Amino acid sequence: MKKLMALAIAVLLIGITGAAVMADENVGSQTQLHAKIHTMGALGYGIATSQANSMDFELIKVGIASVSIKLQNETEELTNVGILYFGESRYVLKDVVIGNGTAAANIYLNGTQKGTISLNSYLKGDREIWAGTLTLDSAAYNAYVIQVPRIWKPAEKAEAIKDYCQNNPEKCKAAIKAVGGIICDPQEEGVSCADKIKTFCEQHPDDNRCKVVSWAYCKLHLEDANCRAQIIEKCKNNTNDTACDKLTNMYNKYVDKKLETLKNAPAWFKSVRERIKNRLPGEIDAEDGNGPAAPGGR
Amino acid sequence: MKTALTLIFAVLIAAVVISGCVQQAATGGGGGQQLTAAEKEQQASQAVDQEIENAIGNITLENVENELLTQG
């Protein structure tokens, strides 16, 4: 009888252990998180120099982005956040504001605000440089950050394409039709057309239809470093695209305030800037990002 | 006979326990299914940190100085 009891207890223990493992695995998959860069505002490295003492300087690395967070069964949420490395110290950036060529945030360490950072982007040569000010522990610094190139991941690009097609269904359809067959009929029941295009473009990022829609998205989203990089690449070879005007207008806001920043600006930028200056008031373009120009860059 | 009955009884109990636990996990009965704002912020920070690591990695002051001098 004792043997039987021991056997029964052993079987029970095995059963409970198995259940615990299965439950753990199940909860793990339920809470699987997807954190994806939605808009990369600034990403780079540089130097912060003390405004009081030029010999007091520090290497900095900064990333400022809008990140989409999604639990398996929840709707996607965007969180603006950033990270600042000041020397070896790591700070979290909160209250982040990402604009067209601007980025600002408060600097936190362990939940306590330690300072602020405010950056504007400029063009120097073929590179985008962020310049601005940073306060940290009551000390004021000038900050210079070189924007680094990053790969615009197919999943992120597909999300941008979905955004564009959701907000501009007719223009999305027209842009796709201009370079090939339609990917889906917007009137179709069930899965949305934007979702179908997203899935298609995630799997076929080099398809011309996907490129043309991501280009249309970029014309409307100069706050996205991926888009600025794509437009800069395109403008090096073709300054006539309206995207070059838009980007030049964006950088011009700062160049007009500080003309010395025009020094070492790329040739395409100077050329477009001249063209814009000489344009008659009525000629301001009403381009909405749906032009048929082939996308360039990545 | 007794052995067989005890074994069947034990297996049945184990099956009930397993199915109960699995059901609780599947329906979110275990709690912790919702993320707080702080948790979301932490996840987002980690994603940005990963970007910095991937795109910048181990940059030294020497690299930065050279870059800035070249661009300047």
Instruction: Quote the percentage of chain A above a pLDDT of 90.
Output: 57
Average pLDDT over residues B5-10: 67
* Alpha-helical runs (H) found in chain A: 2-30, 154-167, 169-179, 193-203, 208-220, 225-237, 242-255, 267-277
Average pLDDT over residues B13-35: 56
If you search the block for the tokens 């040739």, which residue do you land on? Answer: A267
- pLDDT score, position A288: 46
Our CA-based measurement puts residue A288 at a distance from the nearest CA of chain B, in whole angstroms, of 31
Average pLDDT over residues A3-24: 58
- pLDDT score, position A297: 36
Cα distance between residue A103 and residue A116, in whole Å: 11
Residues of B in contact with A81 (CB under 8 A): 41, 44-45, 48
User: What pairs with residue A86 in β-bridges?
Assistant: A60, A89
Q: Looking at the predicted structure, is the pLDDT value of residue A28 above 50?
A: no
Interface test with B, best of A24, A39, A43 (most B CBs within 10 A): A43
pLDDT: which is higher, A235 or B63: A235
Tell me the pLDDT of chain A averaged across its residues. 84
For chain A, say whether B2 makes contact (Cβ under 8 Å). Answer: yes
Residues of B in contact with A8 (CB under 8 A): 6-7, 9-10
**Is there a contact between A45 and B72 if contact means CB atoms under 8 Å apart?**
no
With cut-offs at 50, 70 and 90, classify the pLDDT of residue A129: very high
Interface test with A, best of B45, B50, B69 (most A CBs within 10 A): B45
- pLDDT score, position A293: 42
A137, A126 Cβ separation under 8 angstroms:
no
Instruction: Quote the percentage of chain A above a pLDDT of 70.
Output: 81
3-state SS track over B17-47: HHHHHHHHHHCCCCCCCCCCHHHHHHHHHHH
Q: CB A20: neighbour CB atoms within 10 A?
A: 14
**Among residues A230, A43, A38, A7, which one has the least CA distance to residue A121?**
A43
Cα distance between residue B66 and residue B72, in whole Å: 10
Cα distance between residue A98 and residue A66, in whole Å: 8
In order of A193, A206, A274, B18, the CA distances from A181 in angstroms are: 14, 15, 39, 52
With cut-offs at 50, 70 and 90, classify the pLDDT of residue A284: low
Residues of A in contact with B21 (CB under 8 A): 19-20, 22-23
pLDDT: which is higher, A295 or A210: A210
| B59 closest CB neighbour out of A5, A7, A61 | A61
With cut-offs at 50, 70 and 90, classify the pLDDT of residue A273: very high
Residues of A in contact with B54 (CB under 8 A): 150
A123, A229 Cβ separation under 8 angstroms:
no
For residue range A134-154, what is the model confidence (pLDDT) as tens digits?
999 999 999 999 999 988 999
| A19 closest CB neighbour out of B17, B60, B70 | B17
Q: Looking at the predicted structure, is the pLDDT value of residue B28 above 50?
A: no
**Among residues A68, A111, A107, which one has the least CA distance to residue A84?**
A107
- pLDDT score, position A176: 86
What is this model's ipTM? 0.75
Tell me the pLDDT of chain B averaged across its residues. 70
Mark which residues 215-274 of A lie under 8 Å from B by CB.
Answer: 264
User: What pairs with residue A140 in β-bridges?
Assistant: A135
Q: CB A22: neighbour CB atoms within 10 A?
A: 15
In order of A160, A188, A196, B1, the CA distances from B50 in angstroms are: 20, 39, 29, 63
- pLDDT score, position B24: 54
Cα distance between residue B20 and residue A30, in whole Å: 17
Cα distance between residue A164 and residue B9, in whole Å: 60
**Is there a contact between B14 and A16 if contact means CB atoms under 8 Å apart?**
yes
- pLDDT score, position B69: 66
If you search the block for the tokens 């275990």, which residue do you land on? Answer: B30
pLDDT: which is higher, B60 or A170: A170
For chain A, say whether B66 makes contact (Cβ under 8 Å). Answer: no
DSSP labels for A232-251? HHHHHH-TTSHHHHHHHHHH
**Is there a contact between A67 and B43 if contact means CB atoms under 8 Å apart?**
yes
Indicate the angle between helix axes A225-237 and A208-220, nearest 10 degrees: 110
If you search the block for the tokens 């099956």, which residue do you land on? Answer: B15
* pTM attached to this predicted model: 0.75
Instruction: Quote the percentage of chain B above a pLDDT of 90.
Output: 15
A270, A251 Cβ separation under 8 angstroms:
no
DSSP labels for A1-61? -HHHHHHHHHHHHHHHHHHHHHHHHHHHHHT-EEEEEEEEEEEEEEEEEESS-TT-EEEEE
Instruction: Quote the percentage of chain B above a pLDDT of 70.
Output: 36
A228 Cβ neighbours under 8 A, 6+ residues apart: A101, A121, A128, A222, A247
Alpha carbon of residue A99 to chain centroid: 11
Mark which residues 79-138 of A lie under 8 Å from B by CB.
Answer: 79, 81-83, 85, 90, 92, 94, 124-125, 127, 129
Cα distance between residue A232 and residue A124, in whole Å: 12
With cut-offs at 50, 70 and 90, classify the pLDDT of residue A296: very low
Q: Looking at the predicted structure, is the pLDDT value of residue A5 above 90?
A: no
| A69 closest CB neighbour out of B3, B6, B43 | B43
Cα distance between residue B68 and residue A186, in whole Å: 49
